[in-house]
């Protein structure tokens, strides 16, 4: 049986059981593939004579680009031939720094066909970040747009430079690719274990790690993501995610193309919720996935004013607050389904179509994953670290961390891959997120989950976002402190702080209450995740304060709240 047929059978099984979680998880097996090139053995086969739209991009200024599966396959052939002409060989690394333009999809497919690997990166990185990625990623080629070339000015290294857009001295115009032949012939076979993607993690706790994915781990592994998203052939799927991050490949590339769906992209410089909602409605998007930050912005609009045709609404990246989920349910009659995964994996846990949803839960393990909650000694625990059993290694797990085998060895101790995230699981198998293993802390001997407090804070009408970390205290050791971003139009005053403290008293047990509030911006990674590690470090360096700082308020200073 061909590798294409093996892959198709696994995919079709999940499509058949898309709303039957029990049947899907009990019957699914990862396809066993020794030689596999997803771009050649799946995408091109799917694209042969296929006029269905594969990619639809709407620019900020209104222009649109539509490419069918057949057109995208042909364009990627031209790009592959162009790269080969300019020295890209099997095993080479291409650093790709581009906005949401068609070249991203062409380059990804072309590199796979060649047996090369892509290192996607966001344009928000500094020149120092780019230098680090070139060195640690052993980059041989860089592709960026005209503006992005400035990030590489003065950087040394024996890498070739390709520019999309206006010509820049010293850079090869990428547009030459479209003059190449439309037929591509691969040189040799591709092993399923060959690298195709390398991702630098967002670095919320340490220096970014370099994750290596293969022709099997992401293309095949994202069958679980396809299942969680609930995609069907012919769907129009929109994922709000910036290029350069793994979630972009999850939901803007592999999962929809595995399903035979259309990828819909709004390419904007600045996110504008009304514009996004208008496009979702006008272009009849069927499935929408967005991070919690975007959902929080969307629900500030009058959702009922946008007659969307959505069948599925999804969120991933960080847990989504119940208040936001309820607002969407009231407006559209849809429940946002949460999901969980990492750059190192595909979607591991999720609320899947047609299944009962439990408030606050991330859902249950997805097909192909056996999830365990383990304590620090590797023993099963009611509340423990989310771990993936390796006895039957899932296809979706990364090959390792580039240049750091010891780190990968540590991450796979106890015959499990350790995610670093803590959760609980109920009798029905639903997993509820508690927090990062290094975010959970104790105050007066009580175990505090920052997310539980943040979920309560975000329900206050004035709070847009919040992050809770331990703050040194002379009596209790540490106390929960909330850093808060207010919604537009709200001012950071003592009266508002009192109102928020009083609000929390009605919703949280005494031992869980936030004791300090500071109205402040939140430090974030370039992918938008809150850097709680930076806030913790800031509080530790500050030591035990005698009095509140600027725009900081303590509950103890409000006698009526004691």
- Residues 68-121 have pLDDT tens digits of 999 999 999 999 999 999 999 999 999 999 999 999 999 999 999 999 999 999
In angstroms, the Cα distances linking 234 to 51, 53, 231, 237, 263 are 12, 9, 9, 9, 10
Element housing 96 (H / E): strand 93-97
Q: Which residues of 79-92 are buried (b: 16+ CB within 10 A; e: fewer)?
A: bbbbbbeeebeeeb
Of 176, 214, 206, the closest CA to residue 86 belongs to: 176
CA dist 184 and 111 (Å) reads 12
Dihedral in degrees, nearest 10, Cα atoms 199, 201, 206, 209: -20
Kindly list the distances between the CA atom of residue 377 and the CA atoms of 380, 386, 392, 393, 424, in Å, as whole numbers in the listed order: 9, 13, 21, 21, 17
For the beta sheet containing 141-145, the strands, ordered from the edge strand earlier in sequence to the opposite edge, are 172-173, 160-164, 141-145, 93-97, 117-120, 195-200, 210-214, 400-401
Helix 450-457 vs helix 494-505: angle between axes, to the nearest 10 degrees? 120
Confidence tier at 233 by pLDDT (50, 70, 90): very high
Edge-to-edge, what's the strand order for the sheet holding 371-374?
371-374, 383-389, 416-425, 431-436
The HSE-up count of residue 193 (CA atoms within 13 Å, CB side) is 3
Q: What is the mean predicted confidence (pLDDT) over 489-497? A: 94
pLDDT at 511 over 90: no
Q: Please check whether residue 552 is in contact with residue 539, taking contact to mean a CB–CB distance below 8 angstroms.
A: no
> What does the block give as tokens for 519?
């109205």
Share of residues in the chain with pLDDT > 90 (%): 72
Are 292 and 317 within 8 A, CB to CB? yes
Domains in the chain with CATH codes: 3-363 (3.40.50.12780), 440-561 (3.30.300.30)
Chain mean pLDDT for the chain: 91
Query: Half-sphere exposure of residue 65, counting CA atoms within 13 Å on the CB side?
Result: 17
Evaluate whether 111 touches 63 at the Cβ level (below 8 Å).
Answer: no
Calculate mean pLDDT across residues 430-447: 73
pLDDT tens readout for residues 382-425: 889 999 999 989 999 999 999 888 889 989 999 999 998 889 99
CA–CA distance, 182 with 111 (Å, rounded to integer) = 15
DSSP, res 62: S
Average pLDDT, integer, range 136-159: 93
Averaged pLDDT, 262-275 = 93
Nearest-angstrom CA–CA distance, 364 and 380 = 17
Closest C-alpha to 281, from 270, 271, 273, 269:
273
pLDDT at 11: 98
Q: Is the pTM of this model over 0.85?
A: no
Positive or negative torsion for Cα 101, 106, 109, 113: negative
d(CA 309, CA 91): 43
What are φ and ψ of residue 356, in 5° steps? -65, 135
Phi, psi dihedrals of residue 506, rounded to the nearest 5°: -80, -10
Which pLDDT belongs to residue 269? Answer: 84
Nearest one of 226, 221, 196 to 211, comparing CA atoms: 196
Tell which wins on pLDDT, 520 or 474: 520
pLDDT for position 205: 42
Contact between residue 257 and residue 54 where contact means Cβ atoms under 8 Å apart: yes
* pLDDT value, residue 562: 67
Least confident of 35-44, 219-228, 409-418, 543-552: 543-552
Q: Average pLDDT for residues 121-126, to the nearest whole number?
A: 86
For Cα atoms 350, 250, 311, give the angle at the middle one, nearest 5 degrees.
Answer: 55
Q: Which residue has the higher pLDDT, 444 or 330?
A: 330
Q: How far apart are CA 452 and CA 424, in angstroms?
A: 13
Tell me what pLDDT residue 204 has: 43
Tell me the CA distances in angstroms from 445 to 442, 448, 454, one per residue in order: 6, 9, 20
Mean pLDDT of 183-212: 84
pLDDT at 206 over 90: no
Degrees to nearest 5, angle at CA 37 with 250 and 185: 130
State the DSSP code for 321. Answer: P
């Amino acid at each position: 049986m061909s590798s294409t047929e093996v892959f198709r059978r696994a995919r079709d099984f999940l499509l058949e059981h898309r709303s039957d979680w029990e049947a899907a998880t009990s019957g699914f097996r990862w396809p066993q593939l020794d030689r596999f090139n997803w771009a050649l053995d799946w995408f091109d086969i799917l694209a042969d004579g296929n006029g269905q739209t594969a990619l639809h991009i709407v620019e900020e200024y209104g222009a649109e680009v539509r490419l069918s599966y057949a057109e995208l396959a042909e364009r990627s052939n031209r790009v592959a031939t162009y790269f080969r002409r300019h020295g890209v060989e099997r095993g080479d690394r291409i650093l790709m720094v581009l906005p949401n333009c068609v070249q991203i999809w062409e380059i990804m497919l072309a590199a796979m066909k060649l047996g090369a690997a892509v290192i996607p990166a966001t344009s928000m990185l500094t020149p120092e970040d780019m230098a680090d990625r070139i060195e640690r990623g052993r980059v041989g080629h860089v592709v960026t747009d005209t503006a992005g070339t400035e990030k590489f000015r003065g950087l040394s290294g024996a890498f070739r430079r390709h520019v999309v857009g206006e010509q820049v001295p010293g850079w090869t115009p990428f547009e030459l690719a479209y003059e190449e032949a439309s037929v591509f012939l691969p040189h040799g076979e591709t092993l399923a274990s060959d690298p195709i993607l390398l991702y630098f993690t967002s670095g919320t706790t340490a220096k970014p790690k370099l994750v290596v994915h293969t022709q099997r781990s992401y293309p095949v592994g994202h069958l679980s993501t396809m299942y969680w998203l609930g995609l069907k052939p012919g769907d129009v799927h929109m994922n709000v995610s910036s290029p350069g991050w793994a979630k972009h490949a999850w939901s803007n590339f592999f999962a929809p193309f595995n399903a035979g769906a259309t990828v819909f992209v709004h390419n904007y410089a600045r996110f504008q919720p009304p514009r996004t909602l208008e496009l979702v409605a006008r272009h009849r998007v069927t499935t929408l996935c967005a991070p919690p930050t975007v959902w929080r912005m969307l629900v500030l609009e009058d959702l009922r004013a946008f007659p969307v045709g959505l069948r599925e609404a999804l969120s991933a990246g960080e847990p989504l607050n119940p208040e936001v989920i309820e607002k969407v349910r009231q407006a559209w009659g849809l429940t946002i389904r949460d999901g969980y995964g990492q750059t190192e994996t595909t979607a591991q846990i999720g609320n899947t179509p047609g299944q009962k949803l439990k408030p606050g839960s991330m859902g249950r393990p997805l097909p192909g994953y056996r999830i365990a909650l383990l304590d620090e000694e590797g023993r099963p625990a009611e509340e423990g670290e989310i771990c993936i059993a390796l006895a039957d290694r899932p296809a979706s797990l990364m090959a390792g961390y580039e240049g750091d085998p010891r780190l990968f060895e540590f991450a796979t101790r106890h015959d499990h891959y350790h995610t670093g995230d803590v959760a609980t699981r109920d009798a029905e198998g639903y997993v509820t997120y508690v927090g990062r293993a290094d975010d959970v802390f104790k105050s007066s001997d009580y175990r505090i989950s920052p997310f539980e407090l943040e979920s309560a804070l975000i329900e206050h009408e004035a709070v847009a976002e919040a992050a809770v970390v331990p703050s040194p205290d002379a009596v209790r050791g540490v106390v929960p402190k909330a850093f808060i971003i207010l919604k537009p139009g709200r001012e950071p005053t003592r009266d508002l702080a009192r109102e928020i403290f009083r609000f929390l008293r009605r919703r949280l047990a005494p031992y869980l209450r936030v004791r300090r509030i500071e109205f402040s911006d939140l430090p974030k990674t370039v992918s938008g995740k809150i850097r709680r590690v930076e806030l913790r470090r800031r509080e530790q360096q500050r030591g035990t304060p005698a009095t509140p700082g600027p725009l900081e308020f303590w509950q103890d200073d409000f006698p009526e709240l004691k």
